[in-house]
Structure 1
């Protein structure tokens, strides 16, 4: 296919939908993505397959390849559908409020679609809704005190994205572990508490002892917000009054 990129195929975002067919079940990329998201929500990315999607939609598997040529394109459509939800909140008048809103909506979307966190940072997200979220975030950070020029903006975005990916993957990993093992915090403490107590009583780990004995079990949402605001304070050089 001759394209503006030479002989390379057009990205899925720029290819027109296949012409409607006289078939019992109408299809679209949005419909395929929605079905794929439901399956991934239930079974994870490892449980996602073209055959499962086709079965849920009531069509033959080969028909889906009229709309997506491979698994990577399918994942791109799924990811951008999640970004569409993140983009729904719009922007705020103040830069910091915009960044906080985008980050919190991203966390909420990842908790609803845990597979989304697996793909954060793993590949470029270049769909129209992902680009809209990226533009909103970058434009807001560009207005922040302490961000002077493109180099500062690149560093700020890099630090913010690194925090987001790490925080969400850790939170979701803990949720998955609790589900798969049936071990919550009290159960873990009951199992390993005696060993940990013996180790801390040696006196070799005084700071860890303070964290274990005096530290509270922090709320995940509150911790995310606190660490996010601390990150914004640091990368922008802005300390709120």
Structure 2
């Protein structure tokens, strides 16, 4: 515990090095990179000052010279992976540009699934986050919407992608935890569903679910969902 700060502060406004003395053995970037590696390997719950210090080979208390609070470390981590956006464009086609942003976001969240647990609007002021928002607003420059609505569009796209990826990750984790194959699991569930539909209690579901219904393609579903989100912001 380092105690409560005398006043609120933003990690980005805090100098990396304060006071005199020898040059620090590590940088704030080193601390952040170590924390990201741990989270990628073992999840966000594995990230602690003690674990990060062990990763770097230094004393736990020395980390507070670089990052005063664990919440600051989380903010640094989120901003670090936000730097993985390509931010190509703008192309002049806001739909194409926001679709590219969404696909980038999907890839980032798949590589760093712990980000879903940490993402809040409070972490939107780091250098990479600000560049991301500026890029999106530039891509939306020709769209006839108030600035606040454009920010809502960006947030809605991000929230949609996070929801989709969270579901994808949960399904994948569930499949890994099964003591039998996914095909065996689905066969049992399909048989149970068929028995429920046969009761006649669910006529609308029966009309949709019976017959040869191919499994949905994840990429097609992602594209359709994103299109609907973008369409919802366009005036008739």
Change (3 A) 1:214 1:231: farther
Match of 1:148 in 2: 145
Task: Assess if the C-alpha contact under 8 Å between 2:28 and 2:66 holds in 1.
Answer: yes
Query: Is residue 226 of structure 2 the alignment partner of residue 228 of structure 1?
Result: yes
Match of 1:59 in 2: 58
Mapped to 2, the partners of 1:212 and 1:32 lie a distance apart of: 54
Report the CA distance between 1:183 and its aligned residue.
6.5
Match of 1:200 in 2: 197
Change (3 A) 1:93 1:27: same
- Written as runs of structure 1 = structure 2, the 5 A alignment for 1:100-179 is 100-121=99-120, 123-144=122-143, 147-179=144-176
Change (3 A) 1:167 1:223: same
Report the CA distance between 1:154 and its aligned residue.
4.4
- RMSD between superposed Cα atoms in Å: 2.5
Task: Assess if the C-alpha contact under 8 Å between 2:87 and 2:135 holds in 1.
Answer: no
Match of 2:183 in 1: 186
TM-score (norm 2): 0.83
Query: Is residue 216 of structure 2 the alignment partner of residue 218 of structure 1?
Result: yes
Does 127-136 or 205-214 show the bigger shift? Answer: 205-214
Match of 2:3 in 1: none
Measured against aligned partners, the alpha-carbon deviations of 1:142-168 in whole angstroms (never above 9, x if no partner) come to 422xx3323543443343343233222
Match of 1:4 in 2: none
Mapped to 1, the partners of 2:160 and 2:139 lie a distance apart of: 17
Structure 2, unaligned runs of 5 or more: 1-5
Secondary structure of the corresponding residue to residue 85 of structure 1 = coil
How many aligned positions are there? 227
Match of 2:78 in 1: 79
Report the CA distance between 1:208 and its aligned residue.
2.9
Task: Assess if the C-alpha contact under 8 Å between 1:80 and 1:128 holds in 2.
Answer: yes
Does 150-159 or 199-208 show the bigger shift? Answer: 150-159
Match of 1:45 in 2: 44
Report the CA distance between 1:21 and its aligned residue.
3.6
Mapped to 1, the partners of 2:199 and 2:75 lie a distance apart of: 52
Mapped to 1, the partners of 2:223 and 2:181 lie a distance apart of: 23
Mapped to 1, the partners of 2:141 and 2:180 lie a distance apart of: 43
Task: Assess if the C-alpha contact under 8 Å between 1:92 and 1:98 holds in 2.
Answer: yes
Mapped to 1, the partners of 2:22 and 2:184 lie a distance apart of: 56
Does 148-157 or 45-54 show the bigger shift? Answer: 148-157
Mapped to 2, the partners of 1:153 and 1:122 lie a distance apart of: 15
Measured against aligned partners, the alpha-carbon deviations of 1:194-214 in whole angstroms (never above 9, x if no partner) come to 221110111222343323654
Mapped to 1, the partners of 2:165 and 2:106 lie a distance apart of: 7
Secondary structure of the corresponding residue to residue 102 of structure 1 = helix
